[in-house]
Every structure is written in structure tokens, then in C-alpha cells.
Chain A
Amino acid sequence: MRALFTSKWTKVVVFLLCLMPLASLGWRALHNDLSANPIEFITHATGDWTLRFLLITLAITPLRKILRLPDLIRFRRMLGLFAFFYACLHFTTYIWLDKFFDLAEMWKDVAKRRYITVGFTAFVLLIPLASTSTAGWIRRLGGRRWQQLHRLIYISAVCGVIHYYWLVKSAVLRPLTYAAILAVLLLWRLATKYWPQPRPATVELPPKPQRAQA
């Protein structure tokens, strides 16, 4: 099992899996299967996958602890960067296909429409995280500061879920599902930080053999 998580090939496979949503969009585009409103379809798909990758990224730490699979850490940066990748696609769809690079119009939107304000915030917060994702930046910032900075992902994910909740007309089930998962992931962090850790199950060790007296 451990070998499965430490093999470099697993990383390649995960990388390719992460590209599947994009490949699916490409496939559908080729087959004229992006619904009657392709721009809306692409916007929703890229937005959905941004949220999903944010949640998967946030699930790594709890899963490492719960499943006792510390090697999962190898995938966290990649998953986080994929969240940013899909966020970029989502934002590009909006600014290009929805606003046609009308920046004035975009700023009006950001200022006036609260779901766009909060969604834009979620996107902007990811930029420093993506740009300091290298080992060099961890060194330059120092582990502690780097970690503090990267807690911005919590705010970004919360903003992302609110963005989704505020834009739907009435079908709140899906945004609430994302919200519930995010709540579990964040509450787990709070719980493990402030509640006393349960002691690791102790194993009765056989008594040390008494050393013969000299």
C-alpha cells in the first residue's frame, strides 16, 4: 500500500486523473455536447471542479491522519494547484466568454453583485498560494510563515461555497452539500487543535528483561 502512494507513477496517474474534467469538456466540445448554452455549461463545470479540488485538497490532511497515510502529502500541492488551474479556467470563461474583456463591466459586477464579489475574492486569495507553492518559497518564507499564509485556503474555500450558494435561484441542495463537506473538513481541524488528542492505543509491552546484577 505504501508503495502505491510513494511510487512516482501514482503521481503521474493522479495528475492525469485531475485533467479528466478538462478532457471531458474538450470531448464534449468536439461532439457538440455542451448543452444548448455551452458558455454556461463550461462556466458551471469549471466552477464545480474548482470547488471539488479545493475540498479534495483540504481533505488530504484529515485523511493522512485518519487513514494513517502520511504519504498522501505528496499529492496536496498538485491538487491545490489543480484547484487554482480550474479557478483560472472558470475566471477566464467569465472574463472572456461572458464579459468579452470588458473590464469596466467586470469591475461593476465585482462591486455590485455580491456573489461575484465573494467569488472574485475566493479566486484572488488563491493567487498568493499558487505562486508560493514551490519548495524555494517555503524556504524563503520559513515553514511557519508559509503555513500561516497557506491557511488562506480556508477563507478561499468558504468564499467559493458562498459564491455558489448566492448564485443559485432556489436549488440550494448542491451548494449546501459542498458547505457541509467543507464544514466537516474545517471542524475536524478545529477539533484536533483544541480538543485533547486521544492517546494512541498503547500496547502492553513485555517487561524488559532484568539485567543481571553485576
Chain B
Amino acid sequence: MLLRKAPDLTYADVTPKSLYLDRRKFLRGMGIAGAAALAGARLWDLASPRTSAFAATKFSGLIKSPFSTTEKQNTYDDVTHYNNFYEFGTDKSDPSKNAQKFQTAPWTVSVEGAVKKPRQFTLDEILKLAPLEERIYRHRCVEAWSIVVPWIGYSFSALAKAVEPTPKARYVAFESYYDPRQMPWGKYAGIDFPYVEGLRLDEAMNPLALLCVGMYGESLPNQDGAPVRMVLPWKYGFKSAKSLVKIRFTEKQPPTTWNRMASNEYGFYANVNPKVDHPRWSQAKERRLGEFFKRETLMFNGYGEQVASMYNGMDLRKNY
């Protein structure tokens, strides 16, 4: 027989009547505790290990570029877990999590506008259009942090020459992919999508302007703008549009996303310039990721030799 009288229960163990009558309040308290537990679980989730990147294509036989810096490169982990890619969320850690399932194959880039040979390029065609180079560039964000990345690609001019811009072409507009179903976070980013950027034709044809398909010897991870993006090392990072689907040669200066959002803060040129502050913060210094102390920001991010002549006679305070 298992039924036994509990020997040690006395009248003192009976729940006091006041507590018994207060049980609903207690349950309400439990509700609050439950919410706190959920918040705790979320914190735990945030503290859990990072998701690993998917398998990438390795590139071999890359040409070393004379434009490369010898500065210490940032770690792959830094460059893939600290991203501004607002379609996938506005926190730096969002894109590495939210872009994992982003479909980048098949991929085509439409090159159109004031060109003699408008056409669609498949990613494969882009990869074979010119020999791939490794270019180790400094990359300076408008938010005053910077990284050094070994990008892979070739000068954008190679693509431009393939479509033969007409004399009417004075600017180039870049458009990023946008699909609200794959990028539901974009709704909360506070900027309009698709993301658009632009350059003057001579800027786009500058050999430093890189059409980029990879980094660290591999294809681009989703969160870094897969499968093809621009890299413009003398300009603030937001000028380098990611995940390109359309490139249009135009007669007029094209609208650009951040400039449309706040023209007093983000100019069309957005050349790195330590002397022209962002209205809300200084651009004189930057924090290189991985370094404790801030370092001085260089004019044109240190690429003046290659690009300064394009801006001769321009007031860079007005054309920020």
C-alpha cells in the first residue's frame, strides 16, 4: 500500500488564507516573471555562438594588385560579423544572422542606359569578363570606423568597356537587389529600398573603383554584398552598393539613397575627408576595428594620389 499519511504536516503548513486568496495576484506576478524569463532567454540567445557562414567558392590564381596596402588586414570574422546591410537589419550583427538564407544563384546584372551594347550579365559572365585580382583596400565607414579587407575583383572600367558607354553617359547609377520577402527587416530600416548609389563617369572609370566578387580568397559572403558589389576605397562605405542587380549609365546625376534620406548629412560625393565633419560627429579620426586607440583619418582615405585630381577646382566643403 502506497497511500501513507504524511507524518510531518501540521496545521502550520497550511497556506495562510490571505495568501490563498491572493493567488490570482500571485499568478499575475508569475506572468511578469515569465516575461522576464523570456527576456532572459533572448539575452541567452544573443550570447550563444555565432552561426557559421555557408561554404564559399575558392578563387585561385589571383593577380596581386599594386593598389594593395601592406597594412594589417582585419580578421575574416570581423568583416563578416560587423556589417551595415540595412536590408537585413540595422544592427551590425544582424546581416550575419539574417542573410544566411539569401538566394544569390541564379544571378544576373542588367547593364543599361546610355550604352551601345546594353545587356544582362550572368554572374559567371561577370567572373570571366576580366582576370580577377586581389586588392587589399582600406575601407572607411561614415560612422568613423574602418577596416582593411583583401577584396577580389577587377576595375569597374572593364565592365563599362564591354557595354561601350555613349557620349551621353556622364554618371553611373548602381541598384542593389531588394526583395521584401527575403529581406523583411528592410521595412524597419528607415531608408527606401532598393538601395541606389551613383558615381560620376570619371569616378567609375578610375582604376581604383572595384567591381568586387569576393574577399579573403573566396566568393563574397551574403552579408558582405554577395554575389557582386562595388568597392570604392576613397569614399565612405555607403557609396559601395552591395548585391548589384542593375547598373545604369545616365546623363543626369542619379538619386542616391542616403542623400535622399538626409542630404545635409550624406553628400553625393561622400569622399573620405577628415576636415569635413558629419553634422553629428567628427570625421577627423576613426577606429580601426581591432585597435584600441583611434587613428587619424586620411584625406581620400589615403588614396589621394589616385583620385585627388578628379576633384581639382571643386569645393569639397560644398561637395561633401
Contacts and interface: CB of A to CB of B under 8 A. Distances in A.
Interface in B1-33: 18-19, 22, 25-26, 28-29
Interface stretch (B120-128, B171-179, B184-192, B197-205): B184-192
Interface residues of B, number: 37
B97 interface: no
Interface stretch (A35-43, A79-87, A121-129): A35-43
Contact of A36 (B47, B78, B143): B78
A173 B188 contact: yes
B216 interface: no
Contacts of B188: 171, 173
B280 A35 contact: no
A27 interface: yes
Interface in A105-158: 109, 113-115
A195 to B, nearest CB: 25
B23 to A, nearest CB: 8
A172 interface: yes
Interface string A22-39: 001001100001011101
A140 to B, nearest CB: 36
B117 interface: no
A46 to B, nearest CB: 15
B255 interface: no
A127 to B, nearest CB: 25
Contact of A170 (B28, B77, B86, B282): B86
Contacts of A109: 282
B92 A35 contact: yes
B211 to A, nearest CB: 25
Interface stretch (A1-9, A178-186, A197-205, A206-214): A1-9
B54 interface: no
Contact of B19 (A3, A17, A33, A114): A3
A67 interface: yes
Contacts of B107: none
Dominant SS among interface residues on chain B: mixed
A67 B77 CA distance: 48
B82 A35 contact: yes
A100 B25 contact: no
B29 A1 contact: yes
Nearest to A171: B90
Contacts of B86: 170-171
A157 B28 CA distance: 28
A114 B279 CA distance: 9
A1 B19 CA distance: 7
Contact of A172 (B93, B190, B287): B190
B185 to A, nearest CB: 10
A95 interface: no
A7 to B, nearest CB: 13
Contacts of B78: 36
Closest CB pairs A-B (n = 6): A170-B190, A171-B90, A36-B82, A36-B78, A1-B25, A1-B22
Given A1-B19, A36-B74, 12 more contacts: A1-B29, A36-B92, A36-B289, A37-B145, A37-B289, A167-B280, A169-B143, A169-B190, A170-B190, A170-B191, A172-B190, A173-B190
30 contacts: A2-B18, A2-B22, A3-B19, A20-B43, A24-B43, A27-B47, A35-B92, A35-B93, A36-B289, A37-B82, A37-B92, A37-B145, A37-B287, A37-B289, A40-B145, A40-B287, A67-B28, A100-B293, A100-B294, A113-B281, A167-B280, A169-B190, A170-B86, A170-B90, A170-B261, A171-B90, A171-B190, A172-B190, A173-B90, A173-B188
